[in-house]
């Protein structure tokens, strides 16, 4: 047997209490107990008002994402003793997922999440009538979208997303994983339109590449990788007018030319019009030594290695 204190986020709008708070529940439990089982026992034995979303308890329905000691997990898949061992403390703090408004205790308003999901046109749009039997898809081509197809829409990635914290309108990791799942499906005929739809404001180029979505996804979907692959698709489809795409392109040109980053080129290319307004910033950067003194590209020694790298990346995407 083991014993744990659960410091649970409480928000009880029906009680007239408009503020949230944390409440401690002490629970004796078997060594092998999941966070979800513990929460349900608290609900059953100590406080029936505790609200939490859950269903399958086998890591597939995606209902029970929450934060345990600040880290987003699926409650049903996380062992209490392992979480304690990780933090080294006897108390586990349980909070709702981040970046969403609370409804009651651990239950949050998922409306924005579903709206963003719907905004990526998450359905197959093929060309022409369907054949009598199945469409033939080579095994390798189907496997290209296998990882993203395993997304359970638990929103753990939204909970951890730094771009979303800065811009609530950012479409977000799971929705883009789904976007990639369709854009890269060879049965879909909307590759270019999807590239356009996913670029632009709050789109793929607004991702800060913090990698937390990859890190915390409980199903190994790697949404950041999907966003990156969508970037590649945008390039292949020549959807490169977006500032973010131009930034990436400038980066690439700069790499090709000199094997290292040339900030002047990147700044100018990314936003040739708006760049003028950034002149004072550029001057200050120049003074602080953050920009190369000469606009001419300085070349690194082993540039052929960089070229090889670029070629490798191109071939894998």
Partner 1 sequence: MRTHDVVVVGAGLAGMRAAIAAHEAGVDVALVTKLHPVRSHSGAAQGGINAALGNETEDSTENHTFDTVKGADYIGDQDAIEILCQRAPLEVYQLEHWGAVFSRQEDSGKIAQRPFGGAGFPRTCYAADLTGLVILHTLYTVCVKYNIPTYEEWFVTDLVTDDSGNAVGVVAYDMIHGSIETIGAKAVVMATGGAGRVYRPSTNAHASTGDAMSLALRKGVPLKDMEFMQFHPTTLAANGVLVTEGARGEGGYLLNKDGDRFMSKYAPNKLELASRDVVSRAEATEIMEGRGVDGCVLLDLRHLGRDRIMERLPQIRELAIAFAGTDPIEEPIPIRPGAHYHMGGVHVDNWGAAPHMPGLFAAGECSCVSVHGANRLGGNSLLEAVVFGARAGEASAAYAQDVGEPDVPSNAAAETQDRIEELLLRENGPRQGEIRDELAAVMQEKVGVFRSDGPLREAKATVTELKEKFQGVVVDDKGRTFNTDLIHTIETGYLLDLADTMVTGAIARHESRGAHSRTDFTERDDENWMKHTLAYLDDGEIRLDYSPVTMTKYEPQVRSY
Residues forming the site for partner 1 (CB under 8 A): 12-15, 32, 37, 43-45, 47-49, 51-52, 54-63, 77, 103-104, 107, 109-110, 114, 118, 122-124, 126, 130, 132-139, 141-142, 145-146, 149-150, 152-153, 181-182, 185, 187-188
Of 92 and 110, CB closest to partner 1: 110
Query: Which has the closest alpha carbon to 256: 314, 199, 315?
Result: 314
Q: Which pair of structure tokens corresponds to residue 153?
A: 């829409």
Per-residue DSSP letters for 242-297?
A: SHHHHHHHHHHHHHHHHSS--HHHHHHHH-TTHHHHTHHHHHHHHHTT-S-SSSSP
CB of 122 to partner 1, least distance (A): 5
- Tokens standing for residue 255: 């790499």
**At closest approach, how far in Å is the CB of 136 from partner 1?**
4
What's the rounded Cα separation, in Å, for the pair 101 and 159?
A: 11
Which residue's CB is nearer to partner 1, number 108 or number 248? 108
Q: Which one, 73 or 207, has the nearer CB to partner 1?
A: 73
d(CA 162, CA 16): 32
**125/300 with CB nearer partner 1:** 125
In whole angstroms, the minimum distance from the beta carbon of 79 to partner 1 comes to: 8
164 contacts: CB under 8 Å, gap ≥ 6: 99, 158, 170, 172
**Shortest separation between residue 293's beta carbon and partner 1, angstroms:** 53
Minimum distance between the CB of residue 158 and partner 1, rounded to whole angstroms?
15
Of the pair 71, 249, the CB lying nearest partner 1 is at: 71
Beta partners for 3? 28
CA distance 132 to 155: 37
Q: How far is the CB of 208 from partner 1 (least distance, A)?
A: 27
| Contact yes or no for 194/136 (Cβ under 8 A) | no
Residue 49 or 307 with smaller CB distance to partner 1: 49
């Amino acid at each position: 047997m083991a014993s744990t204190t659960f410091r649970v986020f409480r928000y009880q709008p029906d009680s007239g209490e408009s503020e949230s708070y944390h409440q401690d529940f002490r629970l004796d439990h078997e060594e092998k107990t999941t966070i979800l089982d513990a929460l349900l026992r608290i609900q059953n034995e100590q406080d029936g008002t505790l609200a939490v979303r859950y269903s399958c308890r086998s890591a597939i329905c995606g209902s029970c994402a929450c934060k345990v000691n600040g880290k987003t997990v699926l409650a049903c898949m996380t062992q209490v003793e392992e979480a304690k061992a990780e933090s080294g403390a006897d108390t586990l703090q349980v909070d709702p997922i981040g970046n969403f408004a609370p409804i009651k205790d651990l239950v949050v308003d998922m409306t924005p999440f579903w709206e963003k999901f719907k905004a990526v046109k998450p359905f197959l749009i093929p060309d022409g009538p369907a054949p009598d039997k199945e469409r033939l898809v080579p095994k390798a081509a189907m496997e290209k979208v296998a990882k993203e197809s395993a997304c359970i829409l638990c929103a753990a990635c939204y909970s951890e997303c730094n771009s979303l914290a800065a811009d609530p309108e950012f479409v977000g990791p799971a929705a883009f994983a789904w976007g990639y799942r369709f854009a890269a499906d060879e049965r879909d005929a909307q590759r270019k339109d999807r590239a356009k739809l996913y670029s632009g404001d709050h789109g793929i180029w607004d991702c800060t590449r913090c990698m937390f979505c990859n890190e915390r996804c409980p199903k190994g979907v790697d949404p950041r990788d999907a966003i990156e692959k969508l970037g590649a698709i945008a390039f292949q489809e020549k959807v490169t007018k977006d500032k973010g795409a131009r930034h990436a392109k400038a980066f690439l040109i700069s790499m090709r030319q000199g094997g290292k980053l040339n900030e002047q080129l990147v700044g100018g290319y990314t936003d040739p019009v708006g760049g003028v307004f950034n002149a004072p910033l550029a001057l200050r950067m120049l003074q602080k030594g953050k920009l190369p003194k000469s606009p001419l590209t300085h070349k690194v020694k082993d540039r052929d290695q960089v070229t090889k790298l670029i070629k490798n990346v191109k071939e894998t995407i």
